[in-house]
Structure 1
Amino acid sequence: MSHGLFIVFEGGEGSGKSTQVERLYRRLAETQRKALPVREPGTTPLGLHLREYLKSKQPLTPESELLLFAAARAQLVADHIRPSLERGFIVMSDRFSGSTVAYQGYGRAVRRDVIDYLNDYATGGLNPDVTFLLDIDPEEGLHRVGKPQLQLALSPDASAEVGRADVEGHRRFEDQPLAFHNRVRRGYLDLAKDNPGWRTLDARLPEEELAEQVWDIVLPLLPRLTSDPPVVSTPALL
């Protein structure tokens, strides 16, 4: 069986994850590597339906949100990530299980043991080979994404509605207080500290410089891949 490489990009709002996934995808294409970009939620029909539902801003309890993201992740792993890894692909995911720990765990105070169980169950125990945490101060990140209600987020009296401040560009939960985003960042930093497979990068750097740092870490991992003869990268499934 061939074994690919599983790379995940994590980070808060405005950290530039999607940009770095796209840059790495193009770089791998230049080297004729088989690469597959995916994102959460998305890529699968279930993930896309979840994205649309989240755009509706219908209220969700933290527990409901946790279960929805777990269901979408299970489908993504089954349909795309695991089969592609078995074929020797380099799979790059814009968010994975770390987002659930940071957002629903630290951000919304859902029990960590419940999150860990669901993450493991949804992924079948699949873990990334390397996870890039693009770290940025939440206030700067919110400015980057042009959050219309940034002043609400900076207010201690702002609503603490559940969920992410944006769902990859859709900005579902714009009225989250800054304290929420600070908790999310703390969650990410704790994950990076506790997991040797995580690499923390300064998301304030120019995107070209950040892309070079990512490439310097990924490049030594490429020779160990076992796969069929290299082909041009697959079309993006984002």
Structure 2
Amino acid sequence: MKGFFLTLEGLDGSGKTTQARLLAQFLEEKGIKVRLTREPGGGLPGVRDLLLKGEALSPEAEYLLFSADRAEHVRKVIFPALEEGFWVISDRYLDSSLAYQGYGRGLPLSWLLQVAKEVTLGLQPHLTFLLDLPPEEALKRVSTPDRLEKAGLEFFKRVRQGYLELAAREPGRFLVVDATRPVDEVQTTIRESILKLFP
């Protein structure tokens, strides 16, 4: 692949969307071609409303819907952009499912990863920024909670712990960033790590 794939992860309210947009602007100013995308909805746009605004789902159905969207996302958006030399920035990817449906909902990580291997064609991000935020603060920041955000504090505590465990397992891919800091400080940390990638 000619491009570079990076993702932003974290609890709802951690600032992923804002930081992804600011990072895309920064890279474009450096003359880098950027494709900014997100999950859910990056592959099957209608899935986003179904997952976030629809009726209650079993954890298994929830994960499989995320996976169907991800399969299309990888095949129609991410891989083609990487092949064309774009830097792909995705607001959420597989780590979200491992944290939310695995640690949060309690589904076996072994099954999630088995499905994910086929769904993602083995594609892993080169770099992942985990915007770490205490669950109490995350819930305060969400003004209009979606279906997942209504799952409660204990659920979000499990999700955060899951994220931190995932990051600890792959320290070479993850950079954990303190998302309680101001937006500009978080972006500075992200940009400094990106600049280290350039010769």
Same fold (TM over 0.5): yes
Please name the residue that 1:219 is paired with. Answer: 195
User: Any idea what the Cα deviations from partners look like across 1:144-179, whole Å, max 9, x if unmatched?
Assistant: 1225xxxxxxxxxxxxxxxxxx5xxxx123431211
Please name the residue that 2:78 is paired with. Answer: 81
Q: CA deviation at 1:219?
A: 1.8
Please name the residue that 1:207 is paired with. Answer: 183
Please name the residue that 1:69 is paired with. Answer: 66
CA distance in 2, matches of 1:55, 1:181: 16
CA distance in 2, matches of 1:214, 1:38: 18
2:114 alignment partner, SS class: helix
Q: Give yes or no for the alignment of 1:114 onto 2:90.
A: no
Please name the residue that 1:42 is paired with. Answer: 41
Please name the residue that 1:191 is paired with. Answer: 166
Please name the residue that 2:6 is paired with. Answer: 7
CA distance in 2, matches of 1:93, 1:6: 8
Q: Which amino acid aligns with 1:185?
A: R
2:27 alignment partner, SS class: helix
Is the Cα contact below 8 Å between 2:52 and 2:148 reproduced in 1?
no
Q: Give yes or no for the alignment of 1:102 onto 2:99.
A: yes
Please name the residue that 1:90 is paired with. Answer: 87
User: Any idea what the Cα deviations from partners look like across 1:97-156, whole Å, max 9, x if unmatched?
Assistant: 000110000000001111011121111000101000000001101101225xxxxxxxxx
**Structure with the higher helix share, 1 or 2:** 2
Q: Which amino acid aligns with 2:16?
A: K
Q: Which amino acid aligns with 1:121?
A: E
Please name the residue that 1:172 is paired with. Answer: 147
Residue correspondences, number: 198
1:175 alignment partner, SS class: helix
Please name the residue that 1:233 is paired with. Answer: none
Is the Cα contact below 8 Å between 2:51 and 2:62 reproduced in 1?
no
User: Any idea what the Cα deviations from partners look like across 1:2-40, whole Å, max 9, x if unmatched?
Assistant: 511101000001100001000001111211210001100
1:6 alignment partner, SS class: strand
CA RMSD of aligned residues (A): 1.3
Query: Matched residues, percent identical?
Result: 42
Please name the residue that 1:227 is paired with. Answer: none
User: Any idea what the Cα deviations from partners look like across 1:46-105, whole Å, max 9, x if unmatched?
Assistant: 1x1101223443121000011010110010000010111111110000000000110000
Q: 2:125 aligns with which of 118, 124, 128?
A: 128
Question: Which protein has the larger Cα radius of gyration, Structure 1 or Structure 2?
Answer: 1
Q: Which amino acid aligns with 2:40?
A: P
Q: Unaligned regions of 5+ residues in structure 2, if any?
A: none
**1:52-67 to 2 correspondence within 5 Å?**
52-67=49-64
CA distance in 2, matches of 1:222, 1:10: 23
Q: Unaligned regions of 5+ residues in structure 1, if any?
A: 148-165, 224-238
